[in-house]
Structure 1
Amino acid sequence: MNDKVNQDAINKALWAACDTFRGTISADTYKDFILTMLFLKYISDVWQDHYDQYQKEYGDEPELIEEMLKNERFVLPREASFYRLWEQRHEPGNGERIDQALHAIEEANGTKLKDAGKSVFQDISFNTDKLGEEKQKNTILRHLLEDFAKPELNLSPSRVGNLDVIGNGYEYLIKNFAASGGQKAGEFYTPPEVSELMAELLDPQPGDSICDPACGSASLLMKCGRKVREHHGSKQYALYGQEAIGSTWSLAKMNMFLHGEDNHRIEWGDTLRNPKLLDASGMLMQFDIVTANPPFSLDKWGHEEAEHDKFGRFKRGIPPKTKGDYAFILHMIETMKAKTGRMAVVVPHGVLFRGASEGRIRQKLIEENLLDAVIGLPEKLFYGTGIPAAILLFSKAKTGDGVLFIDASREFKAGKNQNLLSEEHIHRILRTYRYRINDERYSHRASLEEIRENDYNLNIPRYVDTFVEEAEIDLQTVRKEREQLKAQLAALELEMDGYLKELGYGA
């Protein structure tokens, strides 16, 4: 099948494949099966496509073709191909065969699908009782294999061309799972327009090292890398991340693989309790760019261990036991490079004004002249929460001591369940930030003295006055309009009486 495809067709077919699981298990569970099958189908189609091309070029020389295929980005053992599984779909043991195929792919690809001994598919098993008893499980998985074997999901390069339909389809699925899965699912996904805004604000350059210590499915990280390619035509950058949830770490690894991002290091583990991105001396690695959308106000983040943190991340103070927002911020601050480091982090608004230990930490960060800008975002942008958030920008290369405040809370396109930032909204924020524009009722450059006078409270309305006075009411005009309406009503009453008399309803 050589007809070209568009992204919508791929997305529609992928979402339809989810029907196999709906009503049996929750979206938060079956997303792993769908995304993993997409991964398997994609690499199988690429492998088969390249095999066919070599066969046309060299004829029926299987040994030569096998040798040529060793130069591919990845290796696909013959018995692990999607098509081998599909051929056996009517036989018992679909779950076990799929698991064996995934294990074989891991073993054949060395470190590309592993980190520190942890395998991408370690937390994903198709041979699970979650899908029911053996007969039901086998039927469900047969349907899944048949869904992905449909012509619409022929993902071979000769069909999809240079379009990143696979990576985009993967992102589409993750977005929809986040939208339908509530707060838990939304934790691993940053809406694309928000990650677009953050990446543009950070302006990644060739040679930059870029880190997300709470990377989720890695969409924000990859957006930063994409900006280097788009703006500079360069692939000279390195992506680093850490993710605490094992299955989400797997999503990030597969996501990187599908997008061709080979220069990355994604660790599995709790960033606050056990940071894994360390240098040769065992200290925290330093990065040009640090960015994250960490869990809001995380409870039980590791308060009990913070006082004795060997990395010195909490020297400015220890955040509250039940709110980990500043724990992530302080970790990120410590991983910024001394002269080039810049940082963007999504936070709930409480981070801007809460007192006690958070207030003291906030004051120190401001006095150290690290805070560069505060950007208020609209409500309902993020999955799983309707509250508005803000982006804090920090920099170790600031030239002045002021802070730019931008109130973009009213700048959005309303959706059915989620609000969106349009290109126009993003452009306005970027322009205001880059040129440090004072814009009445939208942005304000606050001096350090002004922030001190506000007792280091960063609540945006203290700096950007969005109040608009209502127009003064002209009572004489209102009275005149009222008299005119009364006269019109009286004339209509007379006209109506005339019609009623003609119809014989008069007195």
Structure 2
Amino acid sequence: MPEVIKTQDINSTVWKACDTFRGVIDPSQYKDYILVMLFLKYVSDVYSHKYKTYLKQYDGNKARAERAMAHERFNVPENAHFDFLYEKRNETNLGELIDIALADLEEANREKLTSKDGAGIFRNISFNSNNLGDKKQKSSRLKNLLQDFNELDLNPEHLEDKDIIGDAYEYLIANFASDAGKKAGEFYTPSEVSTLLAKLTKSKSGARIYDPTCGSASLLIKAAKEVDSNNFSLYGQEANGSTWALAVMNMFLHGFDNASIRWGDTLRNPKHTEGDQLMKFDTVVANPPFSLDKWGSEELSEDRFNRFHRGMPPKSKGDWAFILHMIESAYEETGKVGVVVPHGVLFRGSAEGRIRTQVIEDNLLDAVIGLPANLFFGTGIPAAILIFNKAKADKTQTLFIDASQNYESGKNQNKLKTEHIQRIVDTYNKFKSNELKAGVVEEKYSYISGLGELKENEFNLNIPRYVDTFEEEEPVDMPMVKKEIQSLKSEIDSVQDQMQEYLRKLDL
């Protein structure tokens, strides 16, 4: 009986492989090499396992086994197999051999590993790059990398559970995000924030789920896991080519082979369309880049999808551009949207204020949830979650939650614990099911506002306007304060008398 491979086994082995690149390339680039190699090892081991199974089934008949393999998830050419590269680990052109292997793996699986525009998922990475050192240094580093991965046996029969590879992938992406610092926001949303957003927008069976700025797809995967069945479809788009490749691999490693992850700028060129219209979704979730400058306002002044009919966001802040795209992408009457935003979205004026007013008057805003500061990699500013609901019908109330003080302090990042997430979700679910009355729901935590109150506040959504978190000071005991002052005055007089006595003795 082979030894069972556990998640921590993969995590520790693959994290050790990062030592190959420490001090050589920027930490934000580790993920490209390490995660591609993890993916290659996984598809190679799965392929070998299946081939051996068919050989046994067909009594060693290689031709029949190879015909059966043509219908498997991936076709792995001989020179693209991890074992082939491991056998060549002492070659001086190892980086070139790995690049050829990845290109051939793409070609053999074009429908899965290339975009509809013909871009392969490995096109933005080269193991033969001069960034890895001169020829000798590069070959030595890549040999060490192959040796580290050779320790892993990712044969599905040896794995603790079916999600172990995908979970290890998520673990590594999270750790890379920690190492990458400010650049991490481009590809990763902290796990607990993704979990919270997925629970707040929990999708029903059969749902279409979409993330227009999907990064490495961790949020989409969390949203998928909240569905109470395997009946759903996933869609995403990502502008960064390297991050798009991570998302595609992440989907395969989690078993979501039919996910449609597209590469491109969502605002300028949305790829998920039906005819000349935006594709519609049951659930739209995202953590867009905060206050993106030069997001495309000039090019989109006459947007063919009419996403900005409520107003054109300022060219230096793209927050509302992403929000409006998400709202337009949700099904009319039934769609829901969950988005992470900087607090400025809640109260900034001018064009943003006019858009916010229109969205609220259209009765789309369901909830405003303030999060703790320092949750996100690369920025310490607090963020908020906005929930929009196209199924509000006659309900015109909005829930405000101030969860900014509910967190676990961390050395580098704060974290939301399970109980913090559940408290938010429980409050929102009670609001949705009309169990709560307008006004204060929970002191210093939650409040339900009517449309009239929002209008009185000029559609300013700044959370302290609704959730009073002001801490009253204890009343001052004036007689006691007066008594303490007199006591202190007596002590000062005594000290001064002593000082004068010392000075007299010193004849000063």
Same fold (TM over 0.5): yes
Segments of structure 2 that go 5 or more residues without pairing to the other structure are: 488-508
- How far apart in 1 are the matches of 2:184 and 2:447? 36
Number of the residue aligned with 1:490 = none
Number of the residue aligned with 1:502 = none
Q: CA deviation at 1:337?
A: 0.6
Number of the residue aligned with 1:16 = 16
- How far apart in 1 are the matches of 2:281 and 2:60? 50
Contact residue 179 and residue 186 of structure 1 kept, 8 A:
no
Q: CA deviation at 1:237?
A: 1.0
**Structure 1 residues 476 and 277: CA distance shift in structure 2, 3 A:** same
Number of the residue aligned with 2:295 = 301
- How far apart in 1 are the matches of 2:158 and 2:482? 71
Number of the residue aligned with 1:284 = 278
Q: Deviations over 1:81-126 (max 9, x none)?
A: 1011000110121111111111121122231111211111111111
Asked whether 1:385 is paired with 2:379, we answer yes
Q: Deviations over 1:173-207 (max 9, x none)?
A: 11111111122222211111111111111111111
- How far apart in 2 are the matches of 1:346 and 1:105? 36
Number of the residue aligned with 1:215 = 214
SS in 2 for 1:40: helix
- How far apart in 1 are the matches of 2:444 and 2:288? 29
- How far apart in 2 are the matches of 1:83 and 1:480? 84
Asked whether 1:331 is paired with 2:332, we answer no
Asked whether 1:247 is paired with 2:233, we answer no
SS in 2 for 1:119: coil
Number of the residue aligned with 1:416 = 411
Amino acid at match of 1:74: F
- How far apart in 2 are the matches of 1:30 and 1:391? 30
SS in 1 for 2:226: helix
SS in 2 for 1:198: helix
Number of the residue aligned with 1:260 = 255
Asked whether 1:376 is paired with 2:379, we answer no
Number of the residue aligned with 2:138 = 137
Contact residue 374 and residue 405 of structure 1 kept, 8 A:
yes
Amino acid at match of 1:213: P
Of residues 333, 348, 359, the one that matches 2:353 is 359
Amino acid at match of 2:218: S
- How far apart in 1 are the matches of 2:428 and 2:205? 22
- How far apart in 2 are the matches of 1:166 and 1:356? 48
Number of the residue aligned with 2:153 = 154
Contact residue 225 and residue 239 of structure 1 kept, 8 A:
yes
Q: CA deviation at 1:449?
A: 0.5
Amino acid at match of 1:65: A
**Structure 1 residues 14 and 479: CA distance shift in structure 2, 3 A:** farther
Number of the residue aligned with 1:44 = 44
Q: Deviations over 1:369-402 (max 9, x none)?
A: 0111000000111111000000000011004111
TM-score (norm 2): 0.91
Of residues 454, 459, 480, the one that matches 1:456 is 459
Contact residue 215 and residue 292 of structure 1 kept, 8 A:
yes
Q: CA deviation at 1:311?
A: 1.1
Amino acid at match of 2:164: V
- How far apart in 2 are the matches of 1:193 and 1:333? 24
* 306-315 vs 390-399, which moves further: 306-315
Tell me the C-alpha RMSD between the 2 structures. 1.9
Q: CA deviation at 1:310?
A: 1.3
Q: CA deviation at 1:483?
A: 12
Identity of aligned residues (%): 56
Q: Deviations over 1:405-440 (max 9, x none)?
A: 000000111111111111101110011101124111
Q: CA deviation at 1:276?
A: 1.2
Q: CA deviation at 1:223?
A: 1.1
Q: Deviations over 1:315-350 (max 9, x none)?
A: 111111111101101111111111211000000000
Amino acid at match of 2:251: M
Contact residue 404 and residue 445 of structure 1 kept, 8 A:
yes
Q: CA deviation at 1:476?
A: 6.2
Number of the residue aligned with 1:316 = 310
Amino acid at match of 2:191: P
- How far apart in 1 are the matches of 2:368 and 2:324? 16
Where does 1:467-506 land on structure 2 (aligned, <5 Å)?
Answer: 467-474=470-477
Q: Deviations over 1:235-257 (max 9, x none)?
A: 21111111111111111111111
- How far apart in 2 are the matches of 1:164 and 1:474? 62
Number of the residue aligned with 1:109 = 109
Contact residue 10 and residue 169 of structure 1 kept, 8 A:
yes
Asked whether 1:465 is paired with 2:464, we answer no
- How far apart in 1 are the matches of 2:155 and 2:485? 71
SS in 1 for 2:309: coil
- How far apart in 2 are the matches of 1:78 and 1:385? 45
Q: CA deviation at 1:4?
A: 1.4
Where does 1:230-245 land on structure 2 (aligned, <5 Å)?
Answer: 232=228, 234-245=229-240
- How far apart in 1 are the matches of 2:18 and 2:417? 29
SS in 2 for 1:257: helix
Asked whether 1:122 is paired with 2:123, we answer yes
Q: CA deviation at 1:130?
A: 1.2
Number of the residue aligned with 1:75 = 75
Q: CA deviation at 1:478?
A: 7.9
- How far apart in 2 are the matches of 1:481 and 1:38? 69
- How far apart in 2 are the matches of 1:307 and 1:483? 72
Q: CA deviation at 1:481?
A: 10
Number of the residue aligned with 1:505 = none
